[in-house]
Amino acid sequence: MKSKIILKEAVPNKDRKFGSQKRYFPAKLVLDTGEEVKALFTYDQLEVARSRASRNLEDFPEEESFWDFLNL
């Protein structure tokens, strides 16, 4: 798995409206078609995802090692 959202890369909400988040966490999503699209996640959305992952550990992909790459 190569996916990462790095919390240090938070970006400010430049044209912030009342009640909106002060910052977002950017990511690029690769669609099934191969098209890359931009996405902005809130901290709360990341917390929901983290909670879901901790409740469903069996669904989370295993880390690949160097030896997995060699298909030995």
Walk along the chain (72 residues) and give the pLDDT tens digit of each residue.
778 899 999 999 999 999 999 999 999 999 999 999 999 999 999 999 999 989 998 888 877 766 666 665
pTM (two decimals): 0.75
Q: Of the candidates 43, 36, 6, 4, which has an alpha carbon nearest to the alpha carbon of residue 21?
A: 43
Interacting residues of 12 by C-beta distance below 8 A, sequence separation 6+: 22, 23
Report the alpha-carbon distance of residue 61 to residue 6 in Å, rounded. Answer: 19
- Number of helical (H) and strand (E) elements in the chain, helices listed first: 2, 3
For residue 65, the model assigns a pLDDT of: 66
Identify any residues that bridge with 62 across adjacent strands, giving them in sequence order.
none
